[in-house]
Amino acid sequence: MSNTFYNEILTDHNINPVHKHAIDGANFSLEGVNPSCGDDIILNLKIEDGVITDGGYEGDGCAISQASADMMLDLVIGRTKEEALRLSDIFLRMIKSEITDEEKEELEEAGVLSDIAHMPSRVKCAVLGWHTMEEMLKEE
């Protein structure tokens, strides 16, 4: 994948985030913090009958943490909790370079973050939203 494509997607999700806002009627909320670099997000999900019907995040952080959270929400809204957890598992394994090409395709745009595996200092940034969602859904 070209660096240009990677940068375009990250930039777009930072300048024009679709999901960086409060959610009316959110019934699940959890703060995720990366103390090593200061990333801090509050993830809000609206889950009805086991389906994520809406989601948003608020907070501050680096371009990677913010873009990753936005891409994650693109992917999981409209899916069941189980599907969201499965996609999170794929994403987290992708960061460790442990997935198939077919699994990477399931991640859609979030798949551009696969090269983060080669940037250890940025891994925690990329996984912050995903870990926060996983923790939230597993506690429910």
pLDDT digits (tens, 9 = 90+) for 23-56: 999 999 999 999 888 999 999 999 999 999 999 9
Q: What is the pLDDT of residues 54-65, one digit of tens each?
A: 999 999 999 999
Mean pLDDT within 125-139: 95
Structural domains of the chain in order of their starting residue, each with its CATH number = 8-139 (3.90.1010.10)
With pLDDT > 70 as the criterion, what percentage of the chain qualifies?
97
Q: In this predicted structure, what is the pLDDT of residue 2?
A: 61
- Residue holding tokens 């990250």? 10
Q: What is the pLDDT of residues 83-107, one digit of tens each?
A: 999 999 999 999 999 999 999 999 9
Query: Is the predicted pLDDT of residue 80 greater than 90, yes or no?
Result: yes
